[in-house]
Amino acid sequence: MHKTKDARRGGEGETIEKGGMTVKSLMWYFQRHALFLFVVLFVCSCGGEGKIPQSVRLSECFYSYNYVIDWAALGDPNNNPILHAYLEGASEEKLGSLRITDIDERIKRLERGRIIKRFDDSYMPAHPVIAGGKRRELNSVIRQAAAKMLPVTRDTVRKIRPYFKGHEEMLYHVVWSGIMDGGLAWQTLEEQLERQAGKADIDLRMAWWIYPEHSHHAGTNTYGSAQGAWIITGLKGFPEPHIIREAIQSAENNLIHSGLAGTAVGKENVNESLRRYGLIDGKGHSRLFILEKGDPVVPVASKLSVEFARNAIKHLDLEGISRILATTPEQSLVISYHELCYELLKELTSTGALALPKAADAGEKGVRRLVSFYMLNPP
């Protein structure tokens, strides 16, 4: 990826270049890192602001953007009280009161799994925790940004819709996982943050806890294959993307070939999950949504994705968000961009501009609306 920098000179309100970074950018970057460390220490010693209720499974309000952790350790219900203790600023007395016999081993695994981290002789959450007052302030900032972004977002949907005649049910998946949350959008966000911060090699990989989660949160998982990429939207109520991927894997070539040729998938390659998910019809034909590089919609969606990301970062006050959340610019961007997209999805689906796939309405057959294959290497 081409790395760029942008520093301006002179004029009131502008910044002066110094050593490849702007003075303002340098101050922002280091102040945010210093503030982050101070607040983390304060939270750990004082119990933090806005506790997440003990009844909440912390694995359910944990988010990750291309960040690898020990997911089994996070999801282990026996680790939930330990994580709650650390999120609230655990003391030795507090940990002892949990009466978990193998607590030392569990703590070590959580550390190795990059879920908690050691600081001197104690542990703290390894990732930002957004709850209580921080959550409320973030909500306010995001709603303001979403109000400004809504006309652009509606226009994005309007421009892409004509390309989905006969496939209208795939529009939500493409708008969210292809345009808002796609690789081009994130590449653009990274490049724009490099310009703002005046430094190269921005790393957006991170994780965070947030409570309560947004009512319209969604996810995107991308899986490579010999012929291209599987893109699967994650939505509440539906099977998780990795489960959908496992169901597809044994028959993926047959699904793709059937979708391209209009022939039936051989019975020996059909598993019950594919029928249940609506990816194969009653006659054994693939219903997989396939996009090819030469399809007219591809350059249009690519352009819209870049434009959307540029508009989004323009409307996100990352300095202000960093102050609210006590996070670095990178963390602030990843967290706030997701929340902005969720708020826009809420507006689009509540007004009927987009049809939100709902498991309660479509059942498991609705899974088909969450899956696409982008063909890079035709058979």
CA of residue 184 relative to chain centroid, distance: 14
| 94 or 188, greater pLDDT | 188
What phi, psi does 11 have (nearest 5°)?
85, 145
Mean pLDDT of the chain: 86
Confidence label for 259 from pLDDT (cuts 50, 70 and 90) = very high
Q: How far is CA 141 from CA 147, 169, 208, 319, in A?
A: 10, 32, 18, 12
Structure tokens at 149: 């972004």
Reported as a single tens digit per residue, the pLDDT across 167-178 is 999 999 999 999
Q: Report whether pLDDT(228) > 90.
A: yes
Query: What is the structure's pLDDT at 42?
Result: 35
Share of the chain above pLDDT 90, in %: 72
Confidence label for 47 from pLDDT (cuts 50, 70 and 90) = very low
Q: Report whether pLDDT(13) > 80.
A: no
Contacts of residue 88, defined as CB under 8 A and 6 or more positions apart, other chains included, come to 47, 48, 51, 94
Query: What is the structure's pLDDT at 333?
Result: 98
Helices (H), the chain: 23-46, 71-75, 80-87, 92-96, 103-112, 132-160, 171-173, 183-197, 241-249, 252-261, 272-276, 297-315, 318-325, 329-350, 359-362
Confidence label for 37 from pLDDT (cuts 50, 70 and 90) = very low
Residues 371/244, Cβ–Cβ less than 8 Å: yes
Query: What is the structure's pLDDT at 239?
Result: 96
Residue 307's Cβ-count burial label (10 Å; 0-12, 13-18, 19+) is middle
CA of residue 346 relative to chain centroid, distance: 16
Query: What is the structure's pLDDT at 142?
Result: 98
Mean pLDDT of 140-169: 97
Structure tokens at 169: 């049910």
What is the pTM assigned to this prediction? 0.85
Residue 221's Cβ-count burial label (10 Å; 0-12, 13-18, 19+) is middle
Residues 281/287, Cβ–Cβ less than 8 Å: yes
